[in-house]
Amino acid sequence: MNERDETPDPGSAFALAPGVRLEPLGDGSAVLYSRELDQSLSLNHTAALLCSFADGRHTVSAALREIREVFPHDTVEEAALTAFLSDLAARQFLQWV
Total of residues contacting another protein (CB under 8 A): 20
47-86 residues in contact with another protein (CB under 8 A) are 48
Name the nearest CA neighbour of 11 among 65, 70, 69: 65
Name the nearest CA neighbour of 8 among 79, 93, 92: 79
Near another protein by CB under 8 A, which window of 10-18, 40-48, 55-63, 87-95?
Answer: 40-48
CB of 9 to another protein, least distance (A): 29
CB of 47 to another protein, least distance (A): 9
